Amino acid sequence: MEISRLAGKYQELQPPDSADKMDQYLREQESQVAEIRRHVVAWGSCLSQAPAKIKEFQRAYVRWADAELDLLDLLAVSRDCYKLSYPYDMDCLEEAAFGDVGFRLYDAMDDLSRLHQETLELVGR
């Protein structure tokens, strides 16, 4: 399945070893999550006769992608805020990770993980 391949590729991304490569890294993450989201949405259009649990899993996947994209946008802005503040202001970065967007991502990840397991059980894996 293309979604599994893309998700694996996304999980293999390694953070950069220097701050000057962070913008490129965030853009690559955003591009890969957007691609995953496109495939998950397309998959959803094929699920009209699927069990409710599989449809719920697909919707959770979209919610995760949306939350991840929102967090990546916020991280890019926060990084600029951090770089432009002196002395360096950690509030910018903390808001990204521990604010509403960060918590929405954590909730979406929990839902996705739980529904993934339930879906695997449903299909006998």
pLDDT (tens digit per residue) in 11-65: 898 877 776 777 788 889 999 999 999 999 999 999 999 999 999 999 999 999 9
**87 preceded by a cis bond (ω within 30 of 0):** yes
On whether the CB atoms of residues 40 and 10 are closer than 8 A, the answer is: no
Nearest to 29 by CA among 63, 61, 66, 68: 68
Nearest 5°: CA angle at 77, between 105 and 90? 85
**51 preceded by a cis bond (ω within 30 of 0):** no
**pTM for this entry:** 0.78
